[in-house]
Amino acid sequence: MASAERNTYLDQVVAQSAQLEQDLRVKKAPMVQAPAPAGGGGDTSNRARRSAAEAATTPPTAVDVRVTGFGPWKTVLVPPNAFVVHTRRGRDKPLHLGLGTSFRYRSATDSYLVVPGTMQTILLNAFCICRELQGVLVQAYVQWIVQDIATAYRKLDFGDASDPMRLVNLQLKEQAEAAIKDKVATMSVHEVLSDKQPIIEELTARLRGVAEGAGDSDTGLGLRIVTVQIKEAVVTSARLWENLQKPFRSEQGQLARLAELGAQEIITGRELASQRLDQLQRLENDRELVDLKARNAAAAFDRDAAERLRRGEREQADARALASQASETTRHELELEQQRHAQETEMRRLRLELEQTLQRLTLDHELAVARDRAEQLHAAALLELERDRVSQDIANGRSPEAVQAELIARLPEIVAKLPKPDELRTVNLSGADGGSLSGIVAELAAAVTAIRSAVASRE
C-alpha cells in the first residue's frame, strides 16, 4: 500500500537534485611530485628530501596553487581567479591580500590562505510544513561570491584546504532552509505551488542581511548574494498531490468533453449542411443534365432534319446532274459512234487503196523481175553461145599435143571419179598403134566402153 501511494514526481526531483549536486563538486587530480634528480651532490639531495617532506606534509587544496623553489626562496603562484591572504609572524596585517596575487613564501615564518573567487552554488532541498500542516518539498538554489576578502577571511572559516567553501556553504544552506521553512509555514499549499515569489523575496532578504549586512559592510560577512531561485515545490504526500490535481484534471476533462461535444455539434451541423448542399447540388446537376439532354436532343433533331433536307437536295441535284450527264454521255457516245463509223469507212477506203497500190506495186515488181530475169537469161544465153563459140574456136585451134596433154592431166581426176571395180578386166591395146594419137584415142575409147559395160552389168 505504501509503494502504491509513493510520489514518483517527488522521487524524480530529489534524484535530479542529488545528481546536480554531485556534478557541481570540484574534482581535482592528485598532485604528483617530481622525482629527485639522480647523481647530484649531497646538498642538492638534502634540499630535495626536505622539499619532498614539506610537500608531503602540505595537504591538497581546492585551488590549483603551485609552490616553486626550495627553502627560504619558495614562491607561491596563485591562479588569477582565487583570493589570497599572506601573513607573516610579527605583523598584524597581511603582507599580500587580493585576487590572484603571487608572493615569496618562507615556510618558517609565513602562512597563507587561498580562497576561490568564483561563484558558488548551493542546492537547497527544504522539507517544509505549510499552513495546512502538509509536507511540501521546496527545491531552490543560491549563488554567491566573495566580495570583500578582507572581511570574509576574518569572519568565515576557510581553513579546510581540500574544500575551503564547505563550511560557508553549509552555514548559508542552513540559514536558507530555515528562511524557506519559516516563510512556507505562513502560506497555504496552493500559494506555495502557484506563487513562489514571496519565498524568493524572503530568502533573498534574509541571506543578503546575513551575507552583505543589509548595506553596512562592517556587519556583513564580505559576501554578495548573486541570485536566489526556486526550482520546484512538490507536495510530499502522494494522495494529497493526486487530490490537488483532480479538480484541475476534472475541469480540464470537462472542458475537453465540452469542446468535443461542441466540435461534434459543429461537425454534425456542418455535415448536415454539407449533405443538404450536396443534395441541392445533385438536384441542380440532375436538372441541368435533363435540360442539357433536351437541348442536345433538340439540336440533334434539328441537325438530323437539316441533314436529311441537305441530303434530299443533294440527291435531287445529283439526279439532275446524272440525267444531264447521261444525256451528255449519250450525245457524246453518238458522236463517238459517228466518228468511229467515219474512221472505219476511211480505214476501209484507205485499206482498199493500199491493197490496190500493193497489187499494182506487186505486179510492177513481178513484171520488172520477169523482165530482169528474161534479160538475164538472154544475156546468159548470149554469154553461153559466146563461150561455146570461143571454146569451139579454142578447141578448133588446139593442136593434138595440147589435147593429149590435157587428157593426160585429167586422167587422175577421171580415175578418182570412177567407181571401184568388182572385177578386173584387161583390155589389150597393144595391137593399136601406140605411137600415134589415133591409137591412143582408140585405146581410151575401148577402155571407156569396157568400164561402161561393167557398170551396166552391175546395175
CATH number at residue 195: 3.30.479.30
Q: Which residue has the higher pLDDT, 252 or 241?
A: 252
Buried b (16+ CB within 10 A) or exposed e, 3-17: eeeebeebeebbeeb
Compute the distance between CA of residue 50 and CA of residue 248 in angstroms, rounded to an integer: 73
Kindly give the pairing relationship between strand 96-99 and strand 103-105.
unpaired
- The neighbour count for residue 427, using CB atoms within 10 Å, is 11
pLDDT at 58: 45
Residue 209 in grid coordinates:
542581511
Residue 86: inside a domain, yes or no? Answer: yes
Compute the distance between CA of residue 340 and CA of residue 202 in angstroms, rounded to an integer: 143
Average pLDDT over residues 386-407: 74
Residue 255: inside a domain, yes or no? Answer: no
State how far the alpha carbon of 140 is from the alpha carbons of 100, 135, 189, 401, in Å.
31, 16, 17, 186
Residue 156: inside a domain, yes or no? Answer: yes
Percentage with pLDDT > 90 across the chain: 1
pLDDT at 142: 92
Residue 407: inside a domain, yes or no? Answer: no
Q: Which residue has the higher pLDDT, 119 or 450?
A: 119
Does the pTM exceed 0.95?
A: no
Nearest to 176 by CA among 147, 211, 152: 211
Label residue 459 by pLDDT band (50, 70, 90).
Answer: low
Res. 57: pLDDT tops 70: no
Label residue 217 by pLDDT band (50, 70, 90).
Answer: very low
User: What crossing angle do the helices spanning 400-417 and 437-458 adopt, rounded to 10°?
Assistant: 20
Nearest to 231 by CA among 272, 200, 259: 200
Where a domain ends, among 208, 236, 264? 236
Task: Report DSSP letters for 399-437, one per residue.
Answer: -HHHHHHHHHHHHHHHHHHSPPPSS------TTS-TTSH
Residue 103: inside a domain, yes or no? Answer: yes
Bridge partners (DSSP) listed for residue 75: 68, 104
Contact in structure between 245 and 7 (CB atoms under 8 Å): no
State the DSSP code for 126.
E
Average pLDDT over residues 136-157: 88
Res. 341: pLDDT tops 50: yes
pLDDT at 143: 92
Ranges 27-41, 116-130, 251-265, 300-314: which has the least confidence: 27-41
Res. 448: pLDDT tops 80: no
Range(s) of the domain holding residue 82: 8-26+62-236
Label residue 61 by pLDDT band (50, 70, 90).
Answer: low
Res. 434: pLDDT tops 70: no
Nearest to 236 by CA among 193, 194, 179, 277: 193
Where a domain ends, among 236, 256, 286? 236
Q: Which residue has the higher pLDDT, 136 or 36?
A: 136
User: What crossing angle do the helices spanning 238-397 and 8-24 adopt, rounded to 10°?
Assistant: 80
Buried b (16+ CB within 10 A) or exposed e, 286-316: eeeeeeeeeeeeeeeeeeeeeeeeeeeeeee
Average pLDDT over residues 121-134: 87
Ranges 309-313, 347-351, 360-364, 403-407: which has the least confidence: 403-407
Bridge partners (DSSP) listed for residue 126: 138
Compute the distance between CA of residue 228 and CA of residue 203 in angstroms, rounded to an integer: 7
pLDDT at 231: 86
Res. 49: pLDDT tops 70: no
Res. 300: pLDDT tops 80: yes
Number of domains in the chain: 2
pLDDT at 432: 47
pLDDT mean across residues, the chain: 79
State how far the alpha carbon of 274 is from the alpha carbons of 29, 204, 216, 254, in Å.
76, 63, 78, 29
Burial class (CB in 10 A: 0-12, 13-18, 19+), 241: buried
Bridge partners (DSSP) listed for residue 145: 224
Res. 55: pLDDT tops 60: no
Contact in structure between 235 and 193 (CB atoms under 8 Å): yes
How many contiguous H segments (helices) and E segments (strands) does the chain have?
Answer: 9, 9
Contact in structure between 119 and 145 (CB atoms under 8 Å): yes
Label residue 13 by pLDDT band (50, 70, 90).
Answer: low
Residue 121: inside a domain, yes or no? Answer: yes
Where a domain ends, among 201, 219, 236? 236
pLDDT at 421: 61
State the DSSP code for 124.
E
pLDDT at 113: 87
Residue 348: inside a domain, yes or no? Answer: no
Compute the distance between CA of residue 454 and CA of residue 459 in angstroms, rounded to an integer: 9
642538492: which residue's cell? 44
List the beta strands (DSSP E) in 119-250.
120-129, 135-146, 223-235
Residue 218: inside a domain, yes or no? Answer: yes
Average pLDDT over residues 157-186: 87
Residue 319 in grid coordinates:
439526279
pLDDT at 366: 87
